[in-house]
Amino acid sequence: MYFPIVIHKDDESDYGVTVPDLPGCFSAGETVEEAMVEVVEAIELYLEDMLLEGEPIPIPSKINLHKNNPDYADGVWAIVAVDLSRISGESHRVNITMPERVLAQVDTFAAKNGATRSGLLAEAALAYIYAAQDL
């Protein structure tokens, strides 16, 4: 799952990172790179708490939805990848059947986006379930 983030820096401070889709989720780092690594951990902890509380994980918005918000006016936008399979509790091996052409598309998409087959399928399943609940 890919979350838009806003990186901001004030004089005499570390780089701060805010996650607009997750109110109260933020992180920081001495460098931009460190801040981006740290915010992934912050997102994972935030989402893990949501799962423990039985709350649905929100589907991330597009940057365009947030970019005109004055709170983020001086920030730099980026996207971070969060592997939901890392936070969803204990993993279980399952055997599924799907058409070969679909599996090839899954594997190609996962490889291009730095994901695993299992992580992508778990993320897609959760996104489908949560989208269906909003109907």
| % pLDDT > 70, the chain | 94
* Domain 1-82 sits in CATH 3.30.360.10: no
User: Does residue 89 sit in helix, strand or coil?
Assistant: coil
DSSP calls for 38-78: HHHHHHHHHHHHHHHTTPPPPPPPPHHHHTT-GGGTT-EEE
Q: Burial code of 55-85, b = ≥16 C-beta within 10 A, e = fewer?
A: eebeebeeeeebeeeeebeebeebebebbbb
pLDDT-based confidence at residue 130 (cuts at 50, 70, 90): low
Residue with the bigger pLDDT between 17 and 88: it is 17
pLDDT at 134 over 60: no
Kindly report the pTM of this predicted structure: 0.69
Domain map (residue ranges) of the chain = 1-82, 90-135
- Among residues of the chain, what percentage have pLDDT more than 90? 48
